[in-house]
């Protein structure tokens, strides 16, 4: 017997418009039954045009503090990164909870129903531990639970300030000392988070990058992690990373991963912007996922990654918001296709159904959440979008990924429950809250702005 049911005027199933679909939800928050071509029943919640839930496969929540504050002086990724370190130095568990809660709320009302948080700010700015074990990680988990978004905490190993270089003073909060130390903390964190059969908060893993983790440490992590844990890594975001890697190892970063046996369907590589033909073939033949972050890659001037070539080689393409300068799954979809069009001079590099698959099924799979297929047994995560806004009126539903924005997101359903409605969070009792995401963000940013940054010795190495 279903606990509740939603009737969708139009549901995009595998990117195709299906009319009159009744979605029954079981006690476990999963789809109990799905019936197309039917009329609504009296107690059904009626929805309009509905997309599958979308997974933000790569986020750094605290980077949201930089939005609108780092665009005036030009520069590149490396200059922007200095501002990022200052923001990290203002965090503690309470401040990070408040900021993450606000950012996760913004994601939720924008249509992201799950997030992979690539988390490396583990400790105090000077590297010392907080009195409460896993304080920063538990703050992120609490923030996600409070707003109702699915969280996969991609706890990250970060050991070096560059290939063959020690951590800089401003990177000490990221350090666990060794791969063994990180693995010990990761296992303890798994116990602290507990088991969640509903997949609302779960633990994954990340290696920050080839430049930040020596190969011996990567090998130790690959051997020590359970095979079921999703594993992510930044890859070839900047040409400098490739040059340093070639100088040290005689291999590209992709070549290093291949040499370690790390390339597999379990691995997600993030950005993959500056790849050789051989890199593309290696990633594709391994069936790895590539998480593209089009709005960040554009904002930081990183470049346009070879998404179409990677997909043609066999890789799955997922999407993320990365630095959260933009929080909008629909704009990430559009950005993926726009970058391809600009690079190739051709339209339709990814059709709308492929864009939606990147944002939904591929992102969920990347985070170890299954493929989010709209079928019995799958997680019941749905996003209703308006078809009569100034942006979407006249669109056929299947092409909404190329016309709508987060402003068109109406009701958002996670685990079978409405958690957001027209830009507002929804309380457990079904009522809209007075706490808008923008209010939460303003309050969290005000606290951070009034917190002096941690001062570091500028003589330390930077990378």
Active-site annotation, residues? 271, 322
Nearest to 366 by CA among 409, 316, 292: 316
The CA angle 155-83-443, to the nearest 5 degrees, is 75
Instruction: Name residue 202's beta-bridge partners.
Output: 152
Kindly tell me the sign of the dihedral angle through the C-alpha atoms of 452, 454, 459, 460: negative
Distance of CA 277 to the CA centre of its chain: 27
User: Torsions phi, psi of 117, nearest 5?
Assistant: -90, 110
Query: Which residue has tokens 């930040």?
Result: 212
């Amino acid at each position: 017997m279903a606990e509740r049911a939603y009737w969708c005027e139009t549901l995009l199933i595998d990117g195709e418009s299906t009319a009159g679909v009744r979605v029954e939800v079981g006690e476990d928050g999963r789809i109990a039954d799905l019936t197309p071509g039917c009329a609504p029943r009296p107690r059904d919640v009626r929805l309009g045009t509905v997309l599958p839930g979308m997974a933000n496969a790569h986020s750094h929540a605290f980077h949201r503090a930089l939005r609108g504050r780092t665009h005036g002086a030009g520069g590149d990724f490396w200059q922007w990164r200095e501002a990022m370190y200052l923001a990290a130095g203002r965090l503690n568990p309470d401040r990070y909870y408040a900021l993450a809660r606000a950012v996760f709320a913004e994601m939720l009302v924008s249509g992201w129903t799950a997030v992979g948080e690539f988390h490396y700010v583990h400790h105090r700015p000077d590297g010392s531990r907080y009195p409460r074990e896993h304080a920063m990680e538990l703050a992120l988990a609490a923030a996600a639970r409070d707003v109702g978004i699915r969280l996969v905490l991609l706890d990250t190993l970060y050991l070096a300030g560059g290939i063959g270089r020690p951590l800089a003073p401003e990177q000490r909060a990221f350090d666990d000392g060794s791969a063994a130390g990180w693995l010990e903390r990761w296992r303890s964190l798994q116990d602290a988070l507990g088991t969640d059969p509903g997949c609302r908060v779960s633990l994954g893993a990340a290696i920050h990058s080839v430049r930040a983790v020596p190969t011996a440490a990567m090998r130790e992590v690959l051997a020590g992690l359970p095979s079921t844990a999703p594993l992510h890594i930044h890859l070839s975001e900047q040409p400098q990373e490739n040059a340093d890697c070639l100088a040290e190892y005689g291999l590209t970063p992709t070549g290093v991963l291949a040499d370690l046996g790390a390339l597999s369907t379990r691995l997600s590589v993030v950005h993959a912007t500056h790849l050789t033909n051989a890199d593309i073939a290696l990633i594709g033949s391994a069936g790895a996922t590539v998480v593209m972050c089009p709005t960040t890659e554009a904002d930081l001037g990183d470049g346009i990654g070879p998404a179409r070539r990677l997909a043609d080689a066999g890789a799955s393409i997922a999407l993320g918001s990365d630095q959260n300068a933009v929080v909008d799954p629909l704009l990430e979809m559009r950005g993926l296709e726009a970058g391809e069009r600009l690079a190739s001079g051709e339209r339709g590099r990814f059709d709308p159904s492929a864009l939606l698959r990147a944002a939904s099924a591929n992102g969920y799979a990347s985070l170890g959440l299954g493929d989010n297929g709209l079928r019995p047994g799958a997680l019941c995560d749905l996003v209703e979008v308006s078809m009569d806004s100034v942006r979407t009126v006249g669109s056929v539903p299947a092409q909404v990924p190329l016309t709508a924005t987060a402003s068109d997101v109406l009701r958002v359903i996670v685990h079978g429950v409405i958690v957001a409605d027209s830009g507002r969070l929804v309380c457990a009792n079904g009522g809209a809250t007075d706490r808008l995401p923008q209010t939460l963000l303003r309050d969290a940013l005000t606290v951070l702005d009034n917190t002096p940054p941690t001062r570091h010795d500028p003589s330390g190495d930077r990378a």
